[in-house]
Amino acid sequence: MAEVANGRRALVVNVMGRLFMDPLDDPFRTVQAEIQKYRLGAGGSIQAAVIDVHAEASSEKAAFGHSFDGLVSLVVGTHTHTPSADHQILPGGTGYMTDAGMCGDYDSVIGMQKAGASLRFWRKVPGERLTPAEGAATLCGVLVETDDTTGLALRIEPLRLGGRLSQAMPAA
């Protein structure tokens, strides 16, 4: 729970997906149980709810978006390090983006120096410890504007600043 401007409160939940990842408890039921503790919108206990789905598979992230559409302000994915171009407001009013992207050097292999990371694929065996890339960083994220009455999304736009990727700055 985070206190934001004017005494408003935002619920921020981070869950890990299960597809292609180590076995975990059911993140769908965990989020369902957590959001049932609150009422979203004006007069509710929270004015915004953000779900960060740290998962490998875009299909699992999409299932999260559709499962909680109309119940939370935003479902945004992380983990693949590449910003997706599918930011949208789902039919029930939830903002959705499969992956916000990483904050780091995109002249890299998901933020690591290219040579060592590439060798792992060539050799099919782990190599030396990977080293972070140190070039110009890109800041990636997503901006969501919510409705004061419902707490649902009115607008969603990607944010990309600096580095190698095309720039995306939300309009004021």
Range with the lowest mean pLDDT among 22-26, 92-96, 116-120?
Answer: 22-26
Average pLDDT over the chain, rounded to whole? 95
The DSSP code sequence of the chain is -EE-GGG-EEEEEEEE--TTS---S-HHHHHHHHHTTS-BSTTSSBSEEEEEEE-S-HHHHHHHHHHTTTTSSEEEEESS-S--S--EE-TTS-EEES----SEESSSBTTB-HHHHHHHHHHSS--SPP-B--S-EEEEEEEEEE-TTT--EEEEEEEEESSSSPPB----
Which pLDDT does position 125 carry in this prediction?
A: 85
Domains of the chain: 2-161 (3.60.21.10)
Has residue 127 got a pLDDT over 90?
Answer: no
Has residue 140 got a pLDDT over 90?
Answer: yes
Residues forming a β-bridge with 143: 157
Which pLDDT does position 169 carry in this prediction?
A: 95
> pLDDT tens digits for 38-71?
999 998 999 999 999 999 999 999 999 999 999 9
> pLDDT tens digits for 67-113?
999 999 999 999 999 999 999 999 999 999 999 999 999 999 999 99
